[in-house]
Amino acid sequence: MLHDSLPFLTLAVLVVAFLYSSVGHAGASGYIAVMTLFSLAPAEIKPTALVLNILVASIGTWQFWRAGHFSWSLFWPFAVLAVPMAFVGGYLNLPTAVFKILVGVVLLFSAARFFWNPSEDRVTGQPSRPVAISLGAGLGLLSGMTGTGGGIFLTPMLLFMRWAKTKNAAAVSALFILVNSAAGLLGNLSSTRRFPEFAIALAVAAILGGAAGSYFGSRRFDHALIKRLLAAVLLVAGFKLIFTA
């Protein structure tokens, strides 16, 4: 990565963190999208995204835990195999073309999520343990390979299947992202034994942007407009990855 582009990338991450946190999201897909638009290599994108996930998800986990929205009985079946599979996913270094297509699809899915809202916020039951464990294993592997943490898929699944209410789903997903990102990062570092130095600057930007966005987001922002802007960024980055693979 060129040093002269670092200030612009840092500013972009700060803005993305600010916007995502203002609408209650951690921002994993947004960070990947920004790094993609700056043409970073997959070897730099994945560990950096995982670090940013860990920081933002730690804040979210603590907030939801204190507010009493976390459910251990819902969380652990999804996480029990997700964590080791996230390590495996982080250890794997996919061919560049495969990585771009896979992450591109994830970004397009993330963009679609901003236009979807559950019609009801109620619970009809919880998944059986074998189902939850199997789904968690798949999401853990995907999160480690892409650097997304898996929450971008877990949250809508919990809501669509009516396994959790919105705040409970967000609380479970926050810790799911945290543990998977930590395992994925350990796997990646075990494989590559390298860590991008510029990720430190991006981490500071993400913390500052996330803190400011969460403060102002609940007061005066037009959430619908922000979601559409973020969706546009994800669409551009997703198509760029897929069609330049």
Predicted local confidence at residue 221, as pLDDT: 63
Predicted local confidence at residue 67, as pLDDT: 79
Q: Which two tokens stand for residue 110?
A: 């993330």
| Domain boundaries, given as residue ranges, for the chain | 3-243
Other CB atoms within 10 A of residue 150 CB? 32
Predicted local confidence at residue 50, as pLDDT: 92
Instruction: Quote the mean pLDDT of the chain.
Output: 87
Compute the distance between CA of residue 234 and CA of residue 146 in angstroms, rounded to an integer. Answer: 15
Predicted local confidence at residue 24, as pLDDT: 63
Q: What percent of the chain has pLDDT over 70?
A: 93
Compute the distance between CA of residue 82 and CA of residue 151 in angstroms, rounded to an integer. Answer: 11
List of the chain residues with pLDDT < 50: none
Predicted local confidence at residue 83, as pLDDT: 97
CA dihedral over 114, 222, 50, 126, signed as positive or negative? negative
Long-range contacts (CB closer than 8 Å, 24 or more residues apart) made by 35-42: 35/9, 36/103, 36/107, 36/237, 36/240, 36/241, 37/12, 37/233, 37/236, 37/237, 37/240, 38/1, 38/5, 38/8, 38/9, 38/12, 40/1, 41/96, 42/93, 42/94, 42/96, 42/99, 42/100, 42/103
How big is the CA angle at 42 (ends 40 and 43), to the nearest 5 degrees?
100
Predicted local confidence at residue 129, as pLDDT: 95
Other CB atoms within 10 A of residue 91 CB? 18
